[in-house]
Each structure stands twice: as structure tokens, then as C-alpha cells.
């Protein structure tokens, strides 16, 4: 059984919302994409990514024959391979669309998504949208940011607080932007009853400190209320970017 909720908010500075998300308990697919590019291009890129990933995951759900144009990685689970293939297809779709019009030149999107299957969650991501796992009162970041400041934090050059204030905090080192196939980071994690999982764009994680996120996610209110509280916290911190959160609670018993 999966309880799920998702909310996207424009924030207090941007005029348009270039984030997109999917929260689909039926197919156990949850994902967030944060678009980049001029005009409406970022919104187009994130929408194409979510639509393409959703389409492939739904087509591949019943185990019938379908193509694996990017091969199979034997180190990954079946769902991990499904996500990996879906993200590569999304990159190809973004690339083809960007080539079709000068208005879309340079567009791209980050992506983070997961498939839930019994006691396991398969996670795939490109860019700096994140997945967190809340368990036993603690919130842990599952993904590593593919961004300039993320690399500096892992190298010990910047603190998390410094990264949230740095002028290059929005510079990603990987994205779905066409060209060469992106390096998609895929992993499988075990989950247990009572775990809560948060997916979000950097409009949340980039402005709200981890300890504040932990407090909000750990509250015993409904997922809807928790999602709204996260949106409110990001806006209270200035809301400089679009804010998207998707949460789920998994019962594996």
C-alpha cells in the first residue's frame, strides 16, 4: 500500500513554473523534473521528461515484449533498468524537440524518479533534484547532486550552508539536454513500513536547511499537510525558485 502526495508551486520570484512531477501510486512511479532554458523551454523540457518516462514505465509494466534500446545493466534490478531506459528515452526526446525550434535551443531538465516494488525502491536521477529517506526520526539524502556546488561540498570545500548561498548554486553538471547520453545514476534501496520518502526540486533543498526539512517531514500530519508545509517553508525563505515536492509513505507488510 502506498500513500502519496505531490505539490508544485511557482515560488515568490519566478513568473512561470518550469517544474513538473508525477505521483502515480497505480504504477508506483514518482518523479520530479526541474526545467532549464529561455522562454518556455524549461517548462517544455520538464514536461517532455515526465511524459516520456511515464509512458515507458506504463508500457513496460506488464512484462510483455518491448525494446531495450540502451541495453540492460546486469548490476541493476528489473525496475532499475526500466528507469534507466526511460530516462535515456527522455533525454532523446528533449534533444529532438530542442533541434526542432530555435526557441528551444539550450533547453534541458534535471530528473529524479523512483519505482516502488514491495520492500525495494529503485531510484534514478540526473542533476540536482533530490530524494530523501525519513526513517526512525532521521532524514537522509539518498541522491548526490550533479552540480558544481555539490561537487565542492563532497570535496570539503563548501559547507551545505555555503552551497545554498553560493552564486553558482544553480549550475548543474548533468542534465537531460540532448547530445551524448547522460550518465544516469541508478540505485536500489530497501524500505520498510513507516518510511517516508521525499522527492524535490532544488527550489526546496536549495533554500531550506536539512534540519528544518527533517523536522517538517517527521511531523505526524498527513502527507498533504507535510507537502504544503515544505512549500511554505521554501516560500518563507524567499521562494527564489519553483518549488516541487512529492512524498510517499510505503507499507510493505
- Domain definitions of the chain by residue range: 2-250
Q: What is the mean pLDDT of the chain?
A: 90
In the chain, pLDDT over 70 holds for what percent of residues?
94
Let me know: does 85 contact 56? Beta carbons within 8 Å: yes
Residue 13 has pLDDT above 90, yes or no: yes
- Can you give the pLDDT at residue 61? 87
At 140, list the grid cell: 537522509
At 128, list the grid cell: 540536482
Under the banding of pLDDT at 50, 70 and 90, the label for residue 150 is low
CA distance 225 to 232: 10
Q: Is the pTM of this model over 0.85?
A: yes
Residue 85 has pLDDT above 90, yes or no: yes
**Mind listing the pLDDT tens digit for each residue in 21-50?**
999 999 999 999 999 976 579 999 999 999
> Residue 116 class from Cβ within 10 Å (0-12 exposed, 13-18 middle, 19+ buried)?
buried
Under the banding of pLDDT at 50, 70 and 90, the label for residue 66 is low
H or E element that contains 186: strand 185-190
- Class of the CATH-defined domain 2-250: alpha beta
Give the other-Cβ count within 10 Å of 40's Cβ.
15
CA distance 230 to 213: 7
Amino acid at each position: 500500500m502506498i500513500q502519496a502526495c505531490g505539490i508544485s508551486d511557482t515560488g515568490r520570484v519566478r513568473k512561470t513554473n518550469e517544474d513538473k512531477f508525477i505521483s502515480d501510486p497505480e504504477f508506483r512511479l514518482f518523479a520530479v523534473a526541474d526545467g532549464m532554458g529561455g522562454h518556455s523551454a524549461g517548462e517544455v523540457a520538464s514536461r517532455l521528461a515526465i511524459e516520456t518516462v511515464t509512458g515507458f514505465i506504463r508500457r513496460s509494466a506488464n512484462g510483455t515484449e518491448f525494446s531495450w534500446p540502451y541495453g540492460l545493466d546486469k548490476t541493476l534490478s528489473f525496475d532499475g533498468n526500466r528507469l534507466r531506459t526511460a530516462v535515456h528515452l527522455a533525454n532523446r526526446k528533449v534533444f529532438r524537440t530542442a533541434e526542432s525550434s530555435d526557441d528551444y535551443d539550450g533547453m534541458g531538465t534535471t530528473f529524479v524518479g523512483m519505482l516502488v516494488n514491495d520492500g525495494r525502491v529503485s531510484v534514478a536521477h540526473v542533476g540536482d533534484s533530490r530524494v530523501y529517506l525519513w526513517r526512525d526520526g532521521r532524514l537522509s539524502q539518498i541522491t548526490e547532486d550533479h552540480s558544481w556546488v555539490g561537487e565542492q561540498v563532497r570535496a570539503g570545500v563548501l559547507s551545505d550552508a555555503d552551497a545554498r548561498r553560493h552564486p553558482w548554486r544553480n549550475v548543474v553538471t548533468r542534465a537531460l539536454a540532448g547530445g551524448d547520453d547522460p550518465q544516469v545514476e541508478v540505485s536500489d534501496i530497501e524500505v520498510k513500513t513507516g518510511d517516508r520518502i521525499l522527492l524535490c526540486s532544488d527550489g526546496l533543498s536549495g533554500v531550506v536547511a536539512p534540519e528544518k526539512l527533517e523536522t517538517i517531514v517527521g511531523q505526524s500530519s498527513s502527507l498533504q499537510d507535510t507537502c504544503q508545509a515544505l512549500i511554505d517553508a521554501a516560500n518563507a525563505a524567499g521562494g527564489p525558485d519553483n518549488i516541487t515536492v512529492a512524498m510517499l509513505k510505503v507499507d510493505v507488510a
